[in-house]
């Protein structure tokens, strides 16, 4: 099938729409400052997907310094996918995969060596997407979410 969406970097004009998509798609919601701060610090990894001039998905990330999620190679820069969502009627068209792939390119520009994220153990669509992109479960965090659900940390090298 032909690709019908395009990717571009987030701009502050997109804030309301991205916050709307976040509220529709995920129980983890944030104030406007949270989104704008991630954009100010890491513009290369805050990406939106558009279809017919309308934003239908986003990914936003943070670059962190921490211990390697694989083995014992010490402190490194890691790209953390903080939040990703695609509007329900636009799913299974490759948008999520394209968003994460583009965010990982941005992470490399910041010299990140690994990429990781947290995901609910029951979130099969998201886990499948990350597995398809080469992520592996590297840790389980018990009670990570505010409703008590556990999270997998999934990671891959960049
Ligand atoms: N069931 C099984 N596998 C799936 C599913 C599903 N529902 N959705 C995606 N996949 C897998 C498939 O392997 C798919 O490839 P295929 O369609 O060729 O079989 C592959 O992932 C790529 O799928 P995309 O079409 O790129 O993913 P999509 O655009 O549908 O977005 C997303 C996936 C972002 C997880 C979407 O389902 C969504 O917005 N869900 C609600 C919000 C959410 O859960 N976000 C992730 C939370 S974790 C975090 O933010 C760090
Ligand atoms: Zn996280």
Angle between helix axes 15-25 and 32-41 (nearest 10 degrees) is 120
Residue at 132 is within a domain: no
**Cross-strand bridge partners of residue 50:** 6, 55
Residue 151, domain member (yes or no):
no
Whether the CB of 124 sits within 6 Å of ligand 1: yes
Torsion, Cα of 54, 14, 21, 152 (10° steps): 120
Task: Judge whether 98 and 49 are in contact, CB under 8 Å.
Answer: yes
119 within some domain: no
Looking at the domain assignment, is residue 144 inside a domain? Answer: no
Whether residue 73 lies inside any domain: the answer is yes
| pLDDT tens sequence across 67-126 | 999 987 789 999 999 999 999 999 999 999 999 999 999 999 999 999 999 999 999 999
Percentage of residues of the chain with pLDDT beyond 70: 99
User: Contact 21/57 with Cβ under 8 angstroms?
Assistant: yes
Residue 154 within any structural domain of the chain: no
Task: Say if ligand 1 is within 6 A of residue 25 CB.
Answer: yes
Rounded to whole angstroms, the Cα distance separating 67 from 48 reads 29
Q: Are 142 and 123 in contact (CB under 8 A)?
A: no
Sign of CA dihedral 23, 15, 48, 29: negative
The answer to whether position 30 is within a domain reads yes
Range of the domain at 59: 6-113
Give the ligand at the shortest distance from the Cα of 62: 2
Is 22 inside any structural domain?
Answer: yes
Mean pLDDT of the region 40-56: 97
Q: What is the pTM of this model?
A: 0.97
**Contact assessment for residue 108 and residue 158, using Cβ atoms and an 8 Å cutoff:** yes
CA–centroid distance, residue 135 to ligand 1 (Å): 13
Number of domains in the chain: 1
CATH of the domain at 26: 3.40.630.30
- Tens of pLDDT, residue by residue over 128-148, are 999 999 999 999 999 999 999
């Amino acid at each position: 099938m032909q690709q019908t969406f395009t990717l571009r970097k987030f701009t502050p004009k997109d804030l309301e729409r991205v916050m709307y998509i976040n509220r529709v798609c995920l129980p983890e919601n944030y104030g406007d400052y949270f989104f704008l701060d991630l954009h100010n610090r890491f513009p290369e990894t805050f990406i939106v997907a558009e279809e017919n001039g309308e934003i239908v998905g986003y990914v936003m990330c943070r670059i962190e310094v921490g211990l390697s999620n694989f083995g014992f190679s010490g402190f490194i820069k890691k790209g953390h996918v903080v939040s990703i969502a695609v509007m329900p009627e636009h799913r299974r068209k490759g948008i999520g995969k394209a968003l994460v792939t583009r965010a990982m390119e941005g992470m490399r520009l910041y010299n990140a060596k690994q990429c990781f994220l947290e995901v609910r153990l029951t979130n099969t669509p998201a886990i499948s997407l990350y597995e398809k992109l080469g992520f592996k479960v590297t840790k389980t965090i018990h009670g990570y979410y505010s409703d008590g659900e556990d999270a997998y940390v999934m990671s891959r090298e960049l």
